[in-house]
Structure 1
Amino acid sequence: MIGNRDEYESMFQVERKLWWYRILHQKVIQQIQSHFPGSQSIHILDAGCGTGGLLDALRQAGYAQIAGFDASVDAVAFARERQVAAELHDLRAFASFHPGETFDVIICNDVLCYFRDEELLAVLNSFRKRLRPGGIFISNNNAFPALRGTHDMALNILRRFVKAEFIQFAPQAGFSVEQLEYWNFCLTVPIWLLRKAQLLGQRLSPSPSVQSDVKLPPLWMNELIFNWLMVENRFFRTPPFGSSLFTVMR
């Protein structure tokens, strides 16, 4: 996605409103609060922070020791418009980011999908080395190759994940998995149908173009989906599948 300014601008415009980002940011903050109750002085890093929406949500939740970086000039520029601490840095060179500094929480949402196995393991290893004792790594990732569509093509996404891959990767990188769950269960089948229709339309179009799904639906629909997923997350914690895979490692 690096270099695609239009997509970063779309993300910037909807990140505080779109149901998907709101749910994800809540899931991240709830995990941090659960692991570090009552402590808002912990050091938190958002690795691959995009346009800074999560950093902004963490700041609003009262966390002051937060930092982030992204490899995209456009993403960092948008993040700085939110007045959050975002720097330009490549995740592949994480070892050179503030050498010697360690963190209580490292977050990496929807970035691992750009790495093949060897690169991914190297990134996970680098995260583990920079976590403090008792620290956690939080990651959200797109799930199931069957859900691939024009969204993935527009963002140059290389892969989608299933649980078994993280069960395999975690010990190889020196992590233990504390939580591994699919979410967005109720919308998975509609998303699958939409993605298949998008791919068919793209193949049949005489001048095909691809766009991501990062768009704000009508307000009533956005709030309906948000509230429905809040109920799903509360009462259905281990769905058999979903469009996203949320992971917490120690």
Structure 2
Amino acid sequence: MIGRSEEYEKMFKLEGQLWWYRNLHERVVEALEKRFGQRRDIAILDAGCGTGGMLDFLRRKGYKNLRGIDGSADAVAFCQERGFSVALLDMNQLPYFEVDIQYDAIVCNDVFCYFNDAQLTNILSAMAHLLRTDGILISNNNAFDLFWGEHDLAVKSTRRFTLATFERLLPMVGLRITWSTYWSFILSFLILPIRQWQQLQLKLGWRNADNPESDVYLPNFLVNQTLYRIARTEQKLFRRTPFGSSLFLIVELSDE
């Protein structure tokens, strides 16, 4: 999303409120607590931290050893406004970043969609080297080409994923998936027709592909709360769901 300063500004303003971000941030913390219990001293790297919403949520949950990197100067500036010291780094340069430091957890949300397989393999390999032996990589990713729409154009995403892509790439760099799920399954029946309609409008020229708008906007309080509760209830009722616009992964070093 480098170069879309207006999108970073929207993200900065809405991450703490918008139902989707709230649910994602809670998923990350729950994954950390499942692995590390109530420890708050673990070293966490947010790789592709955007405007720092995830870092801010972790800080408010008591985590203290936080580090962030992002390839956008706009994103880094917003992180600094939140009081975080974040490094400006192209993710392709991750193999050369602080090679002597390792982390208990790496969080990488909605970043892999900007890289092709060769680049992504190098990035994942670097993350494997940055993880401690018992560390985990937590990653959320946009899923299924069916959900491609104006949002992807607005944030300059170049691809969407299925689980099979990571099942193919991760073993090549010494990583393995320990848990995964698509989400939000219930809301996908609302999201999918909207995205399909966007696709049709773009093809027919009814929407301006040169000036796309993302889905990052705050609906009224009742709608936002309802969407949050639906996604949250789904998470509590179903350990995994087979379909959704996002794919959430927990990854660790392979034993091999």
TM-score (norm 1): 0.97
Partner of 1:244: 246
- SS of 1:58's equivalent in the other structure is helix
Number of the residue aligned with 2:57: 57
Counterpart contact for 1:23–1:226, Cα < 8 Å = yes
1:70 counterpart residue number? 70
Name the residue aligned to 1:95.
95
Deviations 1:142-176 (A, max 9, x none): 00011100111111111111111111112112112
Q: Is the 8 A contact 1:70 1:90 kept in 2?
A: yes
Give the whole-Å Cα distance in 2 for the aligned partners of 1:193 and 1:131: 39
Cα distance between partner residues in 2 of 1:206 and 1:124: 36
Q: Following the alignment from structure 2 to structure 1, what is the Cα–Cα distance between the partners of residues 208 and 57?
A: 39
| CA apart distance, 1:206 | 7.8
Letter of the 1:185 counterpart: F
Taking structure 1 as reference, are residues 195 and 129 closer, same or farther at Cα in structure 2, changes over 3 Å only? same
Q: Name the amino acid aligned to 1:41.
A: D
What is the aligned-residue RMSD (CA, Å)?
1.2
Change (3 A) 1:230 1:206: closer
* Cα shift readout 1:104-160 (whole Å, capped 9, x = no counterpart): 001110000011111111111100011111000110000001110011111111111
Q: Deviations over 1:44-74 (max 9, x none)?
A: 0000000000000010111110010100000
For residues 18 and 55 of structure 1, what CA distance do their matches in structure 2 show?
16
Shift of 1:98: 2.3
Tell whether 2:49 aligns with 1:22. Answer: no
Inter-partner Cα distance in structure 1 for 2:207 and 2:138: 42
Distance in 2 of aligned mates of 1:168 and 1:148: 22
In the aligned structure 2, how far is the partner of 1:104 from the partner of 1:207? Answer: 44
**Residue of structure 1 equivalent to 2:188:** 188
Q: Percent identity?
A: 42
Q: Does the 8 Å contact 1:46/1:107 carry over to 2?
A: yes
More displaced, 45-54 or 164-173? 164-173
CA spacing shift, 1:100–1:214, aligned 2, 3 Å: same
The answer to whether the Cα contact below 8 Å between 2:142 and 2:160 also exists between their aligned partners in 1 is: yes
Aligned to 2:231: 229
Structure 2 CA distance for aligned equivalents of residues 206 and 32 of structure 1? 41
What is the alpha-carbon distance in structure 1 between the residues aligned to residue 38 and residue 193 of structure 2? 43
Contact 1:70 1:76 in 2 (8 A): yes
Q: Equivalent residue for 2:48?
A: 48
Number of residues of Structure 1 aligned to a counterpart in Structure 2: 250
Cα distance, 1:204 vs structure 2: 3.2
Q: 1:207 to 1:43 in 2, by over 3 A?
A: closer
Tell me if the contact between 2:140 and 2:246 (Cα under 8 Å) persists in the aligned partners: yes
Distance 1:51 1:235 in 2: 31
Asked whether 1:124 is paired with 2:124, we answer yes
| One-letter amino acid matched to 1:236 | F
Match of 1:31 in 2: 31
Whole-angstrom distance in 2 between the partners of 1:23 and 1:106: 18
- In structure 1, C-alpha distance between the alignment counterparts of 2:192 and 2:230, rounded to whole Å: 19
Contact 1:66 1:85 in 2 (8 A): no
Q: Which residue of 2 aligns with 1:204?
A: 205
- The answer for the alignment partner of 1:134 in structure 2 is 134
Aligned AA (1:8): Y
- Normalising by the residue count of structure 2, what TM-score does the alignment of the two structures yield? 0.94
SS at 2:141's partner residue? strand
Q: Match of 1:155, as an amino acid?
A: V
CA deviation vs aligned residue, 1:176-214 (integer Å, no higher than 9, x gap) = 211111011111122111112223333333855311111
* Contact 1:47–1:106 (CA under 8 A) maintained in structure 2: yes
Unaligned segments of structure 2, at least 5 residues: none
Unaligned runs of 5+ in 1: none
Structure 1 residue runs of 4+, over 3 Å off? 206-209
Deviation digits for residues 71-117 of structure 1 (CA, Å, limit 9, x no counterpart) = 00001111111112322111110133223111000111000001111
